[in-house]
Amino acid sequence: MIVYNNIKDEEYDIPNEHLFLGDCLGVALRPRGRDDNHIIINVLTGDDDYWIIGGDVDCSSSWIDDLIEQLNKANEWMKENALPDTYPNGAFGYKFK
């Protein structure tokens, strides 16, 4: 699915298994860069058939449960499908396999 970043004027083609979409809010997991498979998290806002990365997109606080549900789904996906990236001083997040 194509996700839009209005701030950077970029589009990202994110595999559906890396998207956790609610009715209005969602979470996208994507690599930090072309040669860096560390997972970064983007909060998404739905607008008709478009999903937009955070930035200056606002929504009603009534959608907070929707966001929490999608964050929990993304977290579980990473625990089950990604590699923990640890260093001697503690966890550093996750990486795509």
Question: For the segment 42-95, what is each residue's pLDDT rounded down to a tens digit?
Answer: 999 988 888 999 766 678 899 999 999 999 999 999 999 999 988 766 667 899
pLDDT score, position 39: 95
| 22 within 8 A of 71, measured Cβ to Cβ | no
pLDDT score, position 37: 92
pLDDT score, position 65: 95
Report pTM.
Answer: 0.86
18-40 per-position pLDDT tens digit: 999 999 999 999 999 889 999 99
Q: How far is CA 93 from CA 1, 6, 41, 78, 79, in A?
A: 24, 26, 11, 9, 10
